[in-house]
Amino acid sequence: MKRWLLIGVLALLGLAWAQQRGGSITIAIQTEPAAWDPTQVAGADISRVVYDNVLQGLVKRNPKGEIVPSLATRWVVSNSGLTYTFTLRQGVKFHDGSDFTAQDVLAKFNRARNPDTRASGHLRPDLYRDIANITSPNPNTVVFSLRQPNNDFLFILSRPESLIGPRQRPLAEQRVQPIGTGPFRFAAWERGVAVRLERNPNYYLQGLPYLDRVNFRFLGDGDAQLAGLRAGDLDVIAYSLLPENAVVLSRDSNFKVFSGSGTAEAVAGFNNSRPPFNDVRVRRAITLATNKDELIQGAMLGYGTKIGSMRSPGEACYVDLSNFNAYNPDEARRLLAEAGFTNQNPLRFTFNLAAEFPYERRIGEAMVAQLNKLGPLQVTIQVTDFNTWIQRVFSQADYAMTIIGHVEANDIGNYANPRYYWRYNSPRFQQLFTQYLRAPNQTKACEALAAAQRLLAEDAAGVWVMSLPALGAYRARVQNWPDGFLSPGISVAEVWVRP
Amino acid sequence: MFAYTLRRLGLALVTLWLATLLVFGALLLIPGNPAQAILGIEATPADLEALEARLGLDKPPLERYISWLGGVLRGDLGQSIRYERPISELIVARLGITLPIVVASLLLATILAVPLGILAARKAGSPIDLGVSVASLLGIVLPSFWVGLMFIYIFIVWLKLPLPTSFPIGGWENPERALAALVLPVLTVALASASFLVRLVRGSVLEVLSQDFIRTARAKGLAERVVLYKHALRNAALPVVTVLGLEFASLLIATVVVETVFGIPGLGSLSLTAISARDYPLVQGVVLVIAAFIVLMNLLVDLLYGLLDPRVSYA
């Protein structure tokens, strides 16, 4: 036993010694964002690059989804849940050499909560509505006073919108070349090609980062990504690796394929306000006619996790409802007949797909094939580009059914918004969600959130087909790649390469 | 000749203006808007309004078009909505990659297609002719994205040639790598283009060879070489030159596919980005530049015609 312990310790030490400083890697991501400041422009790919690599907030979500210290070293929440006191890390500098101070924090969150977005240039002031005021009693401390308790408050502070830049920095410059406190500084943005990050030599955590340079290459074509990885032009395919390419790479010892559950749910959503989808029997029937296991196996070659409500297994307060309303075509036909739809008089509707998303598109096409096999359903597919989808489906709710991946963590609250494109208006759900937000403690908060997940499933407010896999691959020389997918960013501070 | 050229130039300008009007109208008709493309689906209506105001999208379309056209006439293509950079700067950078691909592809295609086409015409019906026909048919029907991928796998993954699979980060800062990155795209485009040209050359030469003046030349006892090179080819070149001009323009557009496969930041991928981001001024700028190339090529072809064919007059 003792000997094993010793060997274990030595092995760990060996790992620690082996970590090499220097070198660079190139990581492929799918799309090129419009800009790089998540407080001004939204997009999952912005966060993937800059979150915790370039820009940091008071707290951050690590790859396992835990909220941990970042620019604040600790915090205290008052018993009332109304006061959050943060102790700031000392001696931190922004990449431009200026000091990070409490004044930057105050300026940032006063800008964030300003309802006049035209003046502030800041997205989503609604997130910060509950902040009554922010003060700094001394240079090391920042105090947030809330109007009412909000269980999501720390989570909100861990969101990409809450990242902090220098208060003097003009917004237009921060958009194209963000300055932050992270382990890497934003060196260059080659439009259409890549973003280059370089080591921040003054990073406050000793010995980090290991890499000198990190390139994020925009490469949307899955086959081109695979070719680049095999030829050595790319070191990592960060996400959205095509399942068939994952199978090929997993047989090759030169590459490591990683797959896990992230925070993205593939939601086949109904327009709940439009007949017949305002009838719970019809929604349940469509859920019962969907064979999720077959979709995971067939469309995604086994990559993906079955779910039954708007939450992924890695998220807090998750309730496993994956076998709720499980595949049952006979019951589906019975319910449809009750609602007046039979083989002779089928329910006809259009299913909208956005062309740009390889996973959702396959899943959607396979799901429509399943629905059409049932008999009383006649579904046609309409594929458009994402921008058209946003306008028609998302902004105007001019659709019957659609499928899209909802990447954000903790986004079940969208069902509490009756104006959201699902047009789901359930006073009971809204009440449960408010209960969760205002709960006096974590246990009560989870109880409310569990009830909310169940209610959605019973209401069949959507078909939650699967938690989409965080699926990617890297060359064997890449070490210490983050082994969790519950952070908005791809944190590369501790990644190193074997020479 | 001078008056003719002037008239043609005037016509070209009208064509360009109509093209911009057409594009502007088409963009108004397709759903989606640039602010939403930038902010994504979590944006609130207030966020969108604020951005639209900043981008000047809250002005009526006609006003936007007129101010854009005024800028163009002053030689200013305006700012890209998505990239917040001068459009001329973006287009020049992208042309610096796409033009070399197009020119090199067209040269290579011509070098391949002309001799092969002549050979096939002279040996019409022989196994050589059949081989050229089959090969060119393959080159036409195989989609270039597939050909491109095959080239990557054959030359880079299997044969381990030191070529990049995509345009290098840093671009022309590293000229050797950048040039190496264009080898396979040029091969891919040239193959498709040559397949089409070789059939044209063959047909054109065959047609000329069957004409009376060739029979006369042969009857005079001229050597076959002289008949072919002095009489036949000059006449057969006419339709080929015309098509080469048009082919140049169509390659500018055809590179979109190849640029996607080879991850090349050229004009094709810029136009894709512009359209999917609904970056109206950028789309208009790219279309204007491509249309200008097309018009210019047509003009050049017409003028060349006069040099090649004494029967054409520019009255």
In sequence order, what DSSP letters do the residues of B206-234 get, joined into one string?
HHHHTSHHHHHHHHTT--HHHIIIIIIHH
Contact B263 A388 (CB under 8 A): no
Closest CB to A224 among B93, B261, B265:
B261
Residue A213 sits at the chain B interface (C-beta within 8 Å): no
* From A41, A228, A408, residue closest to B39, measured CB to CB: A41
Q: Do B36 and A356 touch (CB under 8 A)?
A: no
Residues 398-427 of chain A whose Cβ lies under 8 A from any Cβ of chain B:
404, 408
Distance from CA of A390 to the nearest CA of B (A): 7
CA distance A464 to chain B (A): 19
Question: Which of A45, A46, A233 is the mutation pick for testing B, counting most B CBs within 10 A?
Answer: A233
Residue tagged 């072919």 (tokens): B228
The secondary structure of residue B162, as a DSSP letter, is S
Residue B315 confidence (pLDDT) above 70: no
Nearest to A166 by CA among A72, A96, A89, A113: A96
Residues of B whose CB is below 8 A from A190 = 169-171, 265
B156 secondary structure, DSSP code: I
Residue of A nearest to B148 (CA): A224
Interface of B with A in 140-199 (CB under 8 A): 149, 152-153, 156-157, 164-167, 169-171
Q: Is A121 on the interface with B (CB under 8 A)?
A: yes
**Nearest Cα to B104, choosing from B263, B242, B266?**
B266
Q: Which residues of A touch B165 (CB under 8 A)?
A: 224, 227-228, 231, 233
**CB pair distance less than 8 Å for B37 and A228:** no
Whether chain B has a CB inside 8 Å of the CB on A220: the answer is yes
Give the number of A-B residue pairs with CB atoms closer than 8 Å: 130
User: Cβ contact (<8 Å) for B265 and A190?
Assistant: yes
**Would you call B171 and A215 a contact, using CB atoms and an 8 Å cutoff?**
no
- Would you place residue B27 in the very low, low, confident or very high pLDDT band (cuts 50, 70, 90)? confident
Say how far residue A369 (Cα) sits from the centre of its chain: 28
Distance CA A417, CA B41 (A): 14
Structure tokens belonging to residue B227: 């008949």
Q: What angle do CA B53, B58, B59 make, to 5 degrees?
A: 125
- Selected residue with higher pLDDT from B31 and A91: A91
Residues 6+ apart with CB under 8 A from B260: A220, A221, A224, B145, B268, B269, B272
Which residues have C-beta within 8 Å of that of residue A267, sequence separation ≥ 6? A310, A403, A404, A405, A406, A462, A463, A464, A465
Compare all CA atoms of chain B with the CA of A42 and give the residue at the minimum distance. B39
> What are B290's two structure tokens?
């491509």
Best A123, A197, A384 member to test B by mutation, with max B CBs in 10 Å, is A123
Q: Which of A117, A228, A394 sits opposite B166 (nearest CB)?
A: A228
Which pLDDT band holds residue B44 (cuts at 50, 70, 90)?
confident
Q: Does B44 touch chain A (CB under 8 A)?
A: yes
Q: What are the φ/ψ torsions at residue A318 (nearest 5 degrees)?
A: -70, 135
Phi-psi category of residue A450: left, alpha or beta, with phi > 0 → left and psi -120 to 50 → alpha: alpha
Q: CB of A227 within 8 Å of any CB in chain B?
A: yes
Average of pLDDT values for B278-294?
Answer: 90
Packing angle, helices B233-261 and B267-276, rounded to 10: 50
Rounded to whole angstroms, the Cα distance separating A469 from A290 reads 19
Provide the CB-side half-sphere exposure for A105 (13 A, CA).
Answer: 29
pTM of the model as a whole: 0.91
| Residues B106 and B251: beta-carbon distance below 8 Å | yes
Is A265 within 8 Å of A310 (Cβ atoms)? yes
pLDDT of residue A134: 97
**What is the phi-psi region of residue A438: left when phi exceeds 0, alpha when psi lies from -120 to 50, beta otherwise?**
alpha
Distance from CA of B80 to the nearest CA of A (A): 11
What was the pLDDT predicted at A6?
A: 52
Determine contact: B133 vs chain A, CB below 8 A.
Answer: no
Q: Closest CB to A42: pick one of B39, B166, B276.
A: B39
> CB–CB of A387 and B37 under 8 A?
yes
**Which of A217, A221, A392 minimises the CB distance to B31?**
A392
Chain B positions in Cβ-Cβ contact with residue A408 (cut-off 8 Å): 42
Give contacts of B 1-30 with A, CB under 8 A: 30
Nearest C-alpha in B relative to A33: B38
Averaged pLDDT score across all residues of chain B: 88
In order along its 499 residues, chain A shows pLDDT tens digits of 455 555 555 455 445 556 889 999 999 999 999 899 999 988 889 999 999 999 999 999 999 999 999 999 999 999 999 999 999 999 999 999 999 999 999 999 999 999 998 889 899 999 999 999 999 999 999 999 999 999 999 999 999 999 999 999 999 999 999 999 999 999 999 999 999 999 999 999 999 999 999 999 999 889 999 999 999 999 999 999 999 999 999 999 999 999 988 999 999 999 999 999 999 999 999 999 999 999 999 999 999 999 999 999 999 999 999 999 999 999 999 999 999 999 999 999 999 999 989 999 999 999 999 999 999 999 999 999 998 998 899 988 999 999 999 998 999 999 999 999 999 999 999 999 999 999 988 899 999 999 999 999 999 999 999 999 999 999 999 999 998 899 999 999 999 999 8
To the nearest whole Å, the CA of A384 is away from the closest chain B CA by 10
Shortest CA gap A336–chain B (Å): 32
Secondary element (H or E) of residue B34? helix B34-39
Interface of A with B in 126-155 (CB under 8 A): 126
pLDDT the model gives residue A42: 86
pLDDT at position A5 is 54
User: A131-152, pLDDT tens digit by residue?
Assistant: 999 999 999 999 999 999 999 9
Question: A14-23, B244-253, B281-290: lowest mean pLDDT where?
Answer: A14-23
Predicted local confidence at residue A10, as pLDDT: 46
Q: Which residue of B has its CA nearest to A121?
A: B50
If DSSP states are collapsed to H, E and C, what string results for chain A?
CHHHHHHHHHHHHHHHHHCCCCCEEEEEECCCCCCCCCCCCCCHHHHHHHECCCEECCEEECCCCCEEECCEEEEEECCCCCEEEEEECCCCECCCCCECCHHHHHHHHHHHHCCCHHHHCCCCHHHHCCEEEEECCCCCEEEEEECCCCCCHHHHHCCHHHCECCCCCCHHHHHHCCCCCCCEEEEEEECCCEEEEEECCCCCCCCCCCCCEEEEEECCCHHHHHHHHHHCCCCEECCCCCHHHHHHHHCCCCEEEEEEEEEEEEEEEECCCCCCCCCHHHHHHHHHCCCHHHHHHHHHCCCCEECCCCCCCCCCCCCCCCCCCCCCHHHHHHHHHHCCCCCCCCEEEEEEEECCCHHHHHHHHHHHHHHHHHCCEEEEEEEECHHHHHHHHHHCCCCCEEEEEECCCCCHHHHHCCCCCCCCCCHHHHHHHHHHHHCCCHHHHHHHHHHHHHHHHHHCCEEEEEEEEEEEEEECCEECCCCCCCCCCCCCCCCEECC
Give SS3 for B301.
helix
A236, β-bridge pairs:
A27, A474
Residue that has been written with the tokens 């082996």 in this structure? A18
Q: Do B53 and A118 touch (CB under 8 A)?
A: yes
- How does pLDDT run across B47-86, given as a tens digit for each residue? 888 888 888 888 898 898 898 889 988 989 999 998 889 9
> Between chains, do B263 and A219 touch, taking CB under 8 Å as contact?
yes
- Residue B246: pLDDT over 50: yes
Residue B83 Cα, gap to closest chain A Cα (Å): 6
Nearest CA in chain A to B158: A231
Mutate to test the interface with A, among B146, B159, B166 (most CBs of A within 10 A): B166
B303 pLDDT more than 80:
no
